[in-house]
């Protein structure tokens, strides 16, 4: 279990006191104050008193810092336009600042491992080791505002996964390794019409190019899939990383995930799979954009359906960082239990990823805090602290 922040050149901590706030505790909301010393919560008290020197929050919400387990946001900063490669250091800093501003204080940066380098049109090239080096360097230098961990997205349907995994080891402190299988005609893209729309929209393929692309990927999966899956599972075990499944659709998928030792399921696509995951004791994570949009953009099960069925444990912002707090607040308000909604983006993801030192407002926990209010039903941050120091 990971119990502390990554080492950095100078791990800064602060003292603070925030008062007259609606504290979102693990099981309830309470008007009160929090005292922070040396980057940790040392006292929580009830009431609207504002001691001398304390920050008066004026009745705003105060929650733990948000914990994000799966986000493609860094890749968006790396390639802001098709064919445009932005300097990685600048992309990392911009990504970090954006997340800090919306209340995310811990992030697992999703980096793809496994590339397809053959075919008439190359699907994607390799970049994982270089990007990981740059994230780790920025982390060590103290340039980042929030906590960053590595999340390797292992593409089973690729040609280079085993080779790319061999470039990582325990010293990288990979937090999550997810088994990604984007082979056409199954899981997220069981509906070929949805897959065609996605691929042609992203790459501009003609119908003939799309058909050739599908044939090529099916052959890649036939040649490499089984070995890649075994190597990815072995790597996660060797590194002590949390293993995550991705897009489980059937009970057979869930059975395989359980056999591999998965502790987290990213974006199951059916109610049937979510029910099987709950029975297997695997935490279910869904996208906040799915929740806010009222359904999946790929036609899969709606996050709200799983929430209503009591099968949703964790929210992820996926491709829209601001959706994380928005989704949690929506679930909290509509369910009449703000503590439950906020728990899905704080304590639940922290524990699922092995972090024991953050995610809850409680003495002894890291003072990663978010002060927020709402306008027209949407939350907006008014202050963000990491280990007691204000970062936004």
Residue 270 sits in the same domain as residue 231: yes
Residue 301 sits in the same domain as residue 382: no
Q: What is the pLDDT of residue 310?
A: 96
Rounded CA-CA distance 107/77 in Å is 15
Residue 59 sits in the same domain as residue 69: no
* β pairing state of 174-180 and 242-246: parallel
Residue 343 sits in the same domain as residue 253: yes
What is the DSSP code (8-state) at residue 26? S
Residue 130 sits in the same domain as residue 19: no
Instruction: Report the CATH number at residue 354.
Output: 3.20.20.140
Residue 168 sits in the same domain as residue 303: yes
Residue 104 sits in the same domain as residue 126: yes
pTM for the complete prediction?
0.90
Q: What is the pLDDT of residue 157?
A: 82
Q: What is the pLDDT of residue 185?
A: 59
Range of the domain at 97: 64-359
Rounded CA-CA distance 127/111 in Å is 8
* β pairing state of 16-24 and 283-287: unpaired
Residue in the block written with tokens 């869904």:
286
Residue 249 sits in the same domain as residue 392: no
Q: What is the pLDDT of residue 186?
A: 64
Instruction: Report the CATH number at residue 377.
Output: 2.30.40.10
Rounded CA-CA distance 370/139 in Å is 21
Q: What is the pLDDT of residue 199?
A: 66
Alpha helices, DSSP H only, in the chain? 73-78, 88-101, 128-141, 161-165, 192-203, 207-239, 251-260, 271-280, 288-293, 303-308, 323-334, 338-343, 347-352
HSE (side-chain half, CA atoms, 13 Å) at 269? 18
Residue 6 sits in the same domain as residue 116: no
Residue 51 sits in the same domain as residue 78: no
pLDDT lower than 70: segments of the chain: 1-11, 118-124, 182-192, 195, 197-204, 297-298
Residue 27 sits in the same domain as residue 159: no
HSE (side-chain half, CA atoms, 13 Å) at 51? 11
Tokens representing 361? Answer: 């407002």
Q: How many domains does the chain have?
A: 2
Q: What is the pLDDT of residue 201?
A: 66
Residue 6 sits in the same domain as residue 83: no
Check: CB of residue 293 under 8 Å from CB of residue 271: no
φ, ψ at 355 (rounded to 5°): -90, 125
Rounded CA-CA distance 295/226 in Å is 32
Rounded CA-CA distance 359/344 in Å is 10
Residue in the block written with tokens 């809850």:
360
Q: What is the pLDDT of residue 125?
A: 76
């Amino acid at each position: 279990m990971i119990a502390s922040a990554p080492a950095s050149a100078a791990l800064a901590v602060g003292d603070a006191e925030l008062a007259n706030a609606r504290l979102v505790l693990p099981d309830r909301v309470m008007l009160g104050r929090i005292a922070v010393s040396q980057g940790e919560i040392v006292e929580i008290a009830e009431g609207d008193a504002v001691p001398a020197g304390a920050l008066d929050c004026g009745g705003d919400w105060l929650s733990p810092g948000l914990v994000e387990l799966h986000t493609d946001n860094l890749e968006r900063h790396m390639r802001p336009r098709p064919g445009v490669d932005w300097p990685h250091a600048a992309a990392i800093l911009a990504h970090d600042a954006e997340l800090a501003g919306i209340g995310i204080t811990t992030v697992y940066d999703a980096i793809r491992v496994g590339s397809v380098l053959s075919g008439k049109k190359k699907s994607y090239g390799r970049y994982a080791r270089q990007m990981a080096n740059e994230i780790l360097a920025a982390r060590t230098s103290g340039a980042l505002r929030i906590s960053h961990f590595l999340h390797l997205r292992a593409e089973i349907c690729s040609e280079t996964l085993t080779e790319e995994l061999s470039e990582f080891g325990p010293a990288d402190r990979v937090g999550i390794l997810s088994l990604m299988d984007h082979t056409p005609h199954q899981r997220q893209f069981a509906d070929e019409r949805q897959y065609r729309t996605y691929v042609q929209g992203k790459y501009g393929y003609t119908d003939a190019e799309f058909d050739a692309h599908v044939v090529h990927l099916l052959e890649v999966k036939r040649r490499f899939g089984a070995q890649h899956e075994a190597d990815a599972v072995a790597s996660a075990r060797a590194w002590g990383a949390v293993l995550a499944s991705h897009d489980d659709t059937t009970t057979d998928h869930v059975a395989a995930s359980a056999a591999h030792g998965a502790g987290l399921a990213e974006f199951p696509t059916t109610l049937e799979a979510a029910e099987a995951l709950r029975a297997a004791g695997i935490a279910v994570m869904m996208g906040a954009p799915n929740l806010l949009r009222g359904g999946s953009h790929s036609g899969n099960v709606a996050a709200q359906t799983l929430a209503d069925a009591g099968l949703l444990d964790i929210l992820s912002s996926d491709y829209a960082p601001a959706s994380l707090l928005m989704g949690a607040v929506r679930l909290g308000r509509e369910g009449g239990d703000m503590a439950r909604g906020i728990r899905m983006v704080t304590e639940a993801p922290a524990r699922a990823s092995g972090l024991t030192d953050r995610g809850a407002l409680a003495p002894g926990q890291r003072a990663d805090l978010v002060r927020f209010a709402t306008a027209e039903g949407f939350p907006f941050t008014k202050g963000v602290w990491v280990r007691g120091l204000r970062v936004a």
